[in-house]
A and B are shown apart, each in its own frame.
Chain A
């Protein structure tokens, strides 16, 4: 059997760990730059606060109902996420945990006898909450797709389900699929769900399960569709993945704190994002073959909330794959110069590093000149300093000292678990 453990309104749960007064109060967390709502509790949902909705559109409801609002505190969320995953590894064995996202993990429970699945799931849920303060929901079923279905239903009526749903019999599986709309099934995209409804009158999971594999092959995108049908029928086709699977592309992009007009600010931002992306690149021991830089402008005059963004891209292929920040900045910054037009309002910029290959320079190379190794040692020193001292203590001057464009985070809570000088004060 497979299980999926999913943290309930994860970012909001993190905010509640140190604020028990918020346990029953509605809470929302805003995106980078306080633009949109990225996490909301059930209480906030009931008030009609939309997901991914712009903050200003919900401001009235939020103020009227005393909703607690937080800017995102990714340092806190990242740390608590690692604690949740560590707890799961402790309980289920490290090899049986596949971290799927910051707040979700699959567990392989194939060694647990069926009659004990509920007990084990309950113990996992309670231990995670006791150790980390984070509430989770758990869905257990024969396959990953069905576990997702179970998890979704367990969240529907939390009091009744106690946030746990185990689909261990054919009967329970059929009933659960009947209650699940076709678009809510993991792997069914928005477009294919429209097609399924219009062309095939398939509205729920059960109807989809009753289709044949041959049908799936021709209408549901070939092999992927066949796998989906098999998973729905209880046959495992999606195995536990190697969690260290490497990414094909690394991107760093942010909204600016306020619109940026100057080329110098734009260049600083791009240099900063490049440094950050390069850091991620080195963390997975890769080098990039090309850089893509993009900027988003909004030159629409009128209502400030009307959003007519335009994105412009520019990219360059590097002569040699590299992971060195200075090389990457040297190539990225000229791209911005070409994208820039005076008088435009820039909202956002981003850097993408693509064509990733294993970084051979990391091993050091005796056939290369000494200076190549110097670069590698420099990058290691840079990463270690920035990791242990935090806040990018060592940075390239190209990334700016003033940082006029830095994002807004007006309502961020303390970084209680990652900063010695921001520990939670207790009386």
Chain B
């Protein structure tokens, strides 16, 4: 598709790099000593995104999750391909709305818990339309 070809123009991904991209590779003499250690820089896309087609970004609104270190205005990285598990911070679908909470499950019941005392926990036994939208894997906080 057009779109893909286009994305190649500005961002070539991190795995396609040539010798020319490594600044010291063609140097000789004194500078060449550094060549042995030449490698490419850290790429956040590669570090933070495990499954690209399944990864989406959200913006945190409000203070329901401050205890988990997620604050108003933070950017959340959400992976839809991960499975629901106890203790994960998730994007839940509840009453047709998207909601960020920590998922807690024991033998008999499951809860969505806010990380802020002002919010009540949600007992999922009272809802029959709960489902998982995705699992939050990182939160980006601007200082």
Contacts and interface: CB of A to CB of B under 8 A. Distances in A.
Interface of A: 18, 20-23, 78-79, 81-87, 90, 99, 102, 130-133, 243-244, 280, 283-284, 383-384, 387-388, 416-417, 420, 423-427
Interface stretch (B13-21, B26-34, B38-46, B52-60): B52-60
Contact of A86 (B2, B52, B60, B75): B52
Given A131-B51, A387-B10, A423-B75, A280 B2 contact: yes
B93 A20 contact: yes
Contact of B2 (A132, A283, A384, A426): A283
A384 B59 CA distance: 27
A103 B80 CA distance: 20
B6 A283 contact: yes
Contacts of A23: 96
A388 B10 CA distance: 7
Contacts of B52: 83, 86
A423 B10 contact: no
A341 to B, nearest CB: 36
A388 B11 CA distance: 9
A417 B95 CA distance: 23
Nearest to B114: A427
B64 interface: yes
A130 B57 CA distance: 16
Contacts of B125: none
B61 to A, nearest CB: 4
A423 B96 CA distance: 19
Contacts of A79: 3
Given A18-B98, A387-B6, A424 B59 contact: yes
B56 A417 contact: yes
B1 A384 contact: no
A408 B80 CA distance: 33
Interface of A (DSSP majority class): helix
A427 B2 contact: no
Contact of B57 (A284, A423, A427): A423
22 contacts: A20-B97, A81-B3, A82-B4, A83-B52, A83-B53, A83-B54, A86-B52, A87-B54, A130-B81, A131-B51, A131-B80, A133-B80, A243-B1, A283-B5, A284-B5, A383-B9, A416-B56, A423-B75, A424-B58, A425-B58, A426-B59, A426-B98
Given A82-B1, A426-B99, A132 B53 contact: yes
A1 to B, nearest CB: 24
B80 A426 contact: no
Nearest to B81: A131
Given A86-B53, A425-B59, A426-B59, A21 B4 contact: no
Given A21-B96, A425-B61, A427-B100, A131 B5 contact: no
A133 B91 CA distance: 13
Contacts of A132: 53-54, 80
Given A283-B2, A425-B59, 12 more contacts: A81-B1, A130-B81, A132-B53, A133-B133, A383-B9, A387-B10, A423-B58, A424-B56, A425-B61, A426-B61, A427-B62, A427-B100
B76 interface: yes
Looking at A20, A21, A84, A90, the one whose CB has the most chain B CB atoms below 10 A away is: A20
Contacts of A283: 2, 5-6, 9
A359 B78 CA distance: 41
A245 to B, nearest CB: 12
A387 B9 contact: yes
A220 B38 CA distance: 64
A426 B76 contact: yes
Contacts of A102: 1
A20 B98 contact: yes
A371 B80 CA distance: 50
B58 A426 contact: yes
B4 to A, nearest CB: 6
A388 B8 CA distance: 11
A86 B13 CA distance: 15
